[in-house]
Structure 1
Amino acid sequence: MSTPETAATRGLVMVVEDEPSIAELVRMQLARAGYGVHLERDGAQALAAIGRLRPVAVILDIGLPGLDGIEVCRQLRAGNDWTPVLFTTARDDEIDRILGLELGADDYITKPFSPRELVARVATVLRRTSGTPGRSRLLRLGSLVLDPAARRAAADDRDIPLTATEFDLLHFLMGNPGQVFSRDQLLSQVWGYAALDGGRTVDVHVAQVRAKLGDASPIRTVRGVGYSAEEPRL
């Protein structure tokens, strides 16, 4: 069942959660932070509502009845819809499913979580999506061209669709070519927070970017340290 959307200055966030108590807590915290909120409890209805309402972000529970959150996200990305998605999950083993499926989610948080932390995560993702102030010059490494102002990546005359997080990870590394960053440094600089399982998050996003870029990927692994961006080796 959906609830009427609320106009707000920071945009509309869709919360897809079948536990009414959790949905209401998240709704209240988002509203206090200045977001409009639309609630859905069903995956199929959420897909239709996303297309109709065009929210600025979607908070998506994995364990939905019927069409689960993983399938909702898969269908969004297959339809070239790159609305930022933040997964919520009740079990640690589901995290491995999220990270392993390379669905293009921008972030995730495990239950029980602090609604305030969740809202902070939404704000971080939206800051990335809105652009990167002060660094609008084109970045080039090999055949890869990154346009921060347009948030566009292209290589060999083809556009490469990236999530907000994937784009900012690539942008940060290409903006500091040749420098090696640890996983903790990347988590702080790109995601804007620290987490116990942050290393896995960074590794999976690096793998996602590499898979999308193919031979054009400038990301190099420095064993025992982290990652850097360099001219692709011929």
Structure 2
Amino acid sequence: MIKILIADDEKDIRDIVTWYLSREGFEVFAAADGHAAMDIETSHLPDLLILDVMMPGLSGWEIAKTVQRNVPIIFLTALSEENDKINGFKLGADDYISKPFSPRELVARVHAILRRNGKLALSGDVLQFPPLLLEPGTQKVIVNEKVIELSTKEFDFLYFLVRHPHTIFTRENLMVNLWGYDFEGDERVVDSTIKRIRKKIGVAGDFIKTVRGTGYKFEVDKP
């Protein structure tokens, strides 16, 4: 799983960025100050850093100077003057986003940077777990060479599970990642969605395992 660090002293920003990136399938680490960010950087070696410039402890500038490895960096900051941006790029930043910002735009830029760095597959790449095949770019699902019609939500649900094989998700996890924090339904919507997907994809539905008392996971049985 691709790991991303978001370092910002504003909790609301950390929470919203974490939520948006987590639902894209990234493992997100959050830090409220520069020292905590450096601890995460050295212990978890994230694949991308999102750094606020003005933070307690160490600034985003100082972190960028301190990091010893080649890792993509996005500066996320209220400093929007041209000289600030130039300084950020001189320090090796891959992108510079001024606050206030669009979380969806941030996610798009994260995807673009990770694709350029070879960390992220193109959206059109095929995921294969015979007899199941998924084409994310076209939202096509094929089982035993037969195209299966799924709704957009059903495809998103299946794609999310397939991207995280062997990972156990609680019903609450799945609700947050697939419907969002503000969804007012209950956990039964997860069970009903799983039931529909299993029915539609037939034999491939066996890959979606029920974890008794917890939730679900996608797991391909070993031959």
The one-letter code of the counterpart of 2:80 is: D
> Which residue does the alignment assign to 1:57?
48
> Which residue does the alignment assign to 1:99?
86
State the percentage of identical aligned residues. Answer: 38
Answer yes or no: is the 8 Å Cα contact 1:13–1:56 preserved in 2.
Answer: yes
Unaligned runs of 5+ in 1: 1-8, 134-234
Per-residue CA shift, 1:72-111, capped at 9, x if unaligned?
10111xx2x1111000011322x52241361011111010
When Rg is computed on C-alpha atoms for both structures, the one with the higher figure is 2
Aligned mates of 2:100, 2:120 — CA distance in 1:
32
The one-letter code of the counterpart of 2:63 is: V
Aligned mates of 1:24, 1:129 — CA distance in 2:
26
The one-letter code of the counterpart of 1:112 is: P
Question: What is the deviation of 1:132?
Answer: 11
Question: CA 1:27–1:132 in structure 2 vs 1: closer, same or farther (change >3 Å)?
Answer: closer
Answer yes or no: is the 8 Å Cα contact 1:86–1:109 preserved in 2.
Answer: yes
Answer yes or no: is the 8 Å Cα contact 1:16–1:39 preserved in 2.
Answer: yes
The one-letter code of the counterpart of 2:83 is: D
Which residue of 22, 28, 51 maps to 2:13?
Answer: 22
Is residue 130 of structure 1 aligned with residue 121 of structure 2?
no
Question: What is the deviation of 1:49?
Answer: 1.2
Answer yes or no: is the 8 Å Cα contact 2:114–2:120 preserved in 1.
Answer: no
Answer yes or no: is the 8 Å Cα contact 1:16–1:60 preserved in 2.
Answer: yes
Aligned mates of 1:132, 1:40 — CA distance in 2:
24
Question: CA 1:124–1:67 in structure 2 vs 1: closer, same or farther (change >3 Å)?
Answer: same
Question: CA 1:131–1:30 in structure 2 vs 1: closer, same or farther (change >3 Å)?
Answer: closer
Structure 1 residue runs of 4 or more that deviate by more than 4 Å after TM superposition: none
Unaligned runs of 5+ in 2: 122-223
Per-residue CA shift, 1:172-223, capped at 9, x if unaligned?
xxxxxxxxxxxxxxxxxxxxxxxxxxxxxxxxxxxxxxxxxxxxxxxxxxxx
The one-letter code of the counterpart of 2:95 is: D
The one-letter code of the counterpart of 2:108 is: A
Per-residue CA shift, 1:148-173, capped at 9, x if unaligned?
xxxxxxxxxxxxxxxxxxxxxxxxxx
Answer yes or no: is the 8 Å Cα contact 1:14–1:59 preserved in 2.
Answer: yes
> Which residue does the alignment assign to 2:102?
114
Aligned mates of 1:15, 1:132 — CA distance in 2:
18
Question: What is the deviation of 1:48?
Answer: 2.1
Answer yes or no: is the 8 Å Cα contact 2:14–2:30 preserved in 1.
Answer: yes
Question: What is the deviation of 1:60?
Answer: 0.5
Is residue 90 of structure 1 aligned with residue 78 of structure 2?
yes
The one-letter code of the counterpart of 1:100 is: N
Aligned mates of 2:120, 2:12 — CA distance in 1:
36
The one-letter code of the counterpart of 2:24 is: A
Aligned mates of 2:25, 2:46 — CA distance in 1:
14
Answer yes or no: is the 8 Å Cα contact 1:61–1:89 preserved in 2.
Answer: yes
- Between the two proteins, the alignment pairs up a number of residues equal to 120
Alignment of 1:199-214 (within 5 A): none
Aligned mates of 2:120, 2:111 — CA distance in 1:
14
Question: CA 1:35–1:131 in structure 2 vs 1: closer, same or farther (change >3 Å)?
Answer: closer
